């Protein structure tokens, strides 16, 4: 009886098995355990379209706002004659603090994208908690792989809202807490590697003058200033003098 000849191995099946096995091992090797510590990196810098901008709040009728209605500002005067400083008594509104701060959060994020990211920061986060305000601006440091987040936190009651205390010019709103440097500004530094930001130090200091940077269109600096004065009034802010 002729002994059975050994079957030749199926090379195709062997190759498929090797590929599948390698994929499984790679997945196990790279998978982060559920309880693994955080790597200390943060997401890559925000860019156009990647900042989570909330929907524009539905419009609210406010006949008391008159010419300082930040939701419906009208065409406005010639930009050369646009007011830059404001009398708090001229800013009247029946809108609530919640309505005002929701609009402010949307506006500062919507218009917080600079035309030149190397020269101006981009607003990547705005948070209101009752009468507290915090916003974060991110800027690339020159033409390098380094970035800086500037996080400003303040209480709206600490705003000075006398004439000239809050100013709007071009794409910038200047805020003062002159009675005391009650705004806390924290600068956090990062190094970008392979699309991720690794923390590289930080520093904090109290400041009496802070800035919100905005795009130079739609009279947005003036409108944000009006809304901030109203929010400050609702929270107990007064003039510096």
> Quick one: pLDDT at residue 132?
97
More confident residue, 187 or 14: 187
Residue pLDDT, tens place only, 122-157: 999 999 999 999 999 999 888 889 999 999 999 999
pLDDT of the residue at 47: 40
Asked if 199 contacts 186 with a C-beta cutoff of 8 angstroms, the reply is: no
59-83 average pLDDT score: 83
Tell me the percentage of the chain whose pLDDT exceeds 90.
52
Give the tens place of pLDDT for each residue, 197-228: 999 999 999 999 999 999 988 999 999 999 99
Angle at 175 between CA 79 and CA 102, to 5 degrees: 85
Q: Cα–Cα distance between 182 and 232 in angstroms, integer?
A: 14
For tokens 């305000």, what's the residue? 133
State CA 98 to chain mean position distance: 19
Q: What is the mean pLDDT of the chain?
A: 81
Q: Please determine, for residue 72, whether its predicted confidence score (pLDDT) is greater than 60.
A: yes
Cα separation of 183 and 158, whole Å?
8
Above 50 in pLDDT, residue 33? no
**Which carries the bigger pLDDT value, residue 71 or residue 46?**
71
Q: Residue 19's pLDDT is what?
A: 46
**How high is the pLDDT of residue 118?**
55
How many C-beta atoms lie closer than 10 Å to residue 238's C-beta?
A: 16
- Of the candidates 83, 224, 210, 217, the one whose C-alpha atom is nearest the C-alpha of residue 152 is 210
Domain limits, the chain:
85-234
Higher local confidence (pLDDT), 77 or 32: 77
Residue 45: pLDDT above 50?
no
| Cβ within 8 Å of residue 75, ≥6 positions away | none
Phi, psi of 14 (to 5 degrees): -65, -45
| pLDDT for 31 | 40
What average pLDDT score do residues 165-180 get? 86
Q: Rg of the chain over CA atoms, in angstroms?
A: 27
Highest averaged pLDDT of the listed ranges 24-28, 42-46, 71-75, 103-107: 103-107
Residue 240 pLDDT level (bands cut at 50, 70, 90): low
- Rounded mean pLDDT of 176-197? 88
Burial class of 159 by CB neighbour count within 10 A (0 to 12, 13 to 18, 19+): buried
Quickly count: other Cβ atoms within 10 Å of residue 83's Cβ. 16
Task: Judge whether residue 57 has pLDDT over 50.
Answer: yes
**Collapsing DSSP states into helix, strand and coil, what is residue 144?**
coil
Check residue 200 and give its pLDDT. 93
Residue 120 has pLDDT above 90, yes or no: no
For 97-121, give one letter per residue: b (16+ CB within 10 A) or e: bebbbbbbbbbbbbbbbbeeeeebb
H or E element in which residue 198 lies: strand 196-207
pLDDT at 65: 86
Helix (H, G, I), strand (E, B) or coil at 232: helix
């Amino acid at each position: 009886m002729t002994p059975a000849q050994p079957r030749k191995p199926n090379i195709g099946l062997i190759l498929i098995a090797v590929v599948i096995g390698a994929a499984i091992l790679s997945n196990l090797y790279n998978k982060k355990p559920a309880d693994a510590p955080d790597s200390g990196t943060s997401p890559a810098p925000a860019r156009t379209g990647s900042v989570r901008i909330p929907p524009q709040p539905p419009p609210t009728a406010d006949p008391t706002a008159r010419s300082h209605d930040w939701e419906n500002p009208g065409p406005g005067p010639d930009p050369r004659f646009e007011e830059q400083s404001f009398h708090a008594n001229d800013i009247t509104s029946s809108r609530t603090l919640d309505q005002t701060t929701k609009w402010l959060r949307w506006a500062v994020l919507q218009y917080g994208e600079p035309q030149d990211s190397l020269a101006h920061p981009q607003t990547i986060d705005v948070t209101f908690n009752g009468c507290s305000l915090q916003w974060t601006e991110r800027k690339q440091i020159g033409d390098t792989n380094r970035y800086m987040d500037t996080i400003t936190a303040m209480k709206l009651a600490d705003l000075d809202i006398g004439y000239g205390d809050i100013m709007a010019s071009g794409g910038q709103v200047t805020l003062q807490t002159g009675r005391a440097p009650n705004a806390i500004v924290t600068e956090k530094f990062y190094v970008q590697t392979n699309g991720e930001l690794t923390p590289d130090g930080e520093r904090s200091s109290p400041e009496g003058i802070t800035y919100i940077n905005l795009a130079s269109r739609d009279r947005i600096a003036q409108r944000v200033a009006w809304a901030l004065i109203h929010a400050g009034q609702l929270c107990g802010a007064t003039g510096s003098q």
